[in-house]
Structure formats: C-alpha cells, structure tokens
Structure 1
Amino acid sequence: MIAISDPIRIEPWNFAPERSNFPTRNLPNRRAEIAREKQLTTLIRENNRSRRTCASKIAEMAKKAGIEVKPLEIEFIAARAGIAIS
C-alpha cells in the first residue's frame, strides 16, 4: 500500500538548466540551435531517399560537407522530425 504521507516532489518551472526565466538571455543560443536543427533536418531528408542510409553514413556525409555532427545527434534530429532512418 502506498503511504499517503509521503511528500510529492514538485520541480520548479525553470528546472531545465538551459532555460531560464529570462528568455532574452537564451534567445541567441536558441536561434543557433534552431538553425542547426533545420540544417541537419534538410541534410537528413536530402540524403535519406532510400531509407537505407544509416546515421553514421549521414554523419560522414555531413563531415564532408563541413558540418561536425555525431550519429546519435542525427538519430535524435531524425526522430524529432519524424524521418525514418535505418
């Protein structure tokens, strides 16, 4: 049985370290993140036509194009954009 007397842990609204109550302080960083995410999403869409391209090969193509990115970041961006990669 669960004890009702246990306290409920409540996190503050600004729990995430990258966000704060002052959006103007984080705005340039967030704009850069959004621009990078758009760039990587475009790269994934253009190079993933057959769905046989894996994240590490897309990362190699990005490196040749001058973009430093890790395969795990490619998978994360693809998942957020709803793009299936192998």
Structure 2
Amino acid sequence: MNNDGNCILSGREKESRDHLFFDCDFSKVVWKEILRLRQLQRNVMGWHQGLHWALERLKRKSLITLILKLAWIWKERNKRLFQGLQKIEEDIVKS
C-alpha cells in the first residue's frame, strides 16, 4: 500500500484483497485479456464470485493455473511497493 493506503496498482481506491485481485482497474485489464485469450465469455467477477466460478468449473491443472495468475498480480504489487519496479498489464499477460 502507499502511505495513504491506496492500491499500489491503480492508486485510486483503498487496497483490499477483493480490490487488488479483481476490482482494481489494473487487475481487470489483466483478467479480461486472460479470459479473451482462453476464449471464455464471461465478465470479470469479484473475489467470491470468481473463486466460486473457478472451483465449480476448473479442475487440477486449470485451477493451479488460476492460482498462479493471482500470484502474478500479487508479485506485481510487491515489486511496485518494495522495489519501485512496474510492468504494464500487457507484460503481465505475456508472462
């Protein structure tokens, strides 16, 4: 978090788990692109709805992949916060 408690990725809203992983403008761009690349026709959902959807539909490898994608967002947040480094959304998706 910044000194003001705002999200390090968007800088506009208070950082929380829900905001960081699904509600943040930065995260939404990442998720929308991932969904597009996977040819999944659904909106980006909030934390509870997104995890419920994933647990019902994804099995083994796909669920692990989702968890790794959450980790990419967390890693980007920490790089910005602790190292002053940052990537744009497209670079996160490419990785």
Q: Same fold (TM over 0.5)?
A: no
Compare the two structures and name the one with the higher helix fraction.
Answer: 2
**Normalised TM-score (structure 2):** 0.31
Whose Rg is larger?
1
**Normalised TM-score (structure 1):** 0.33
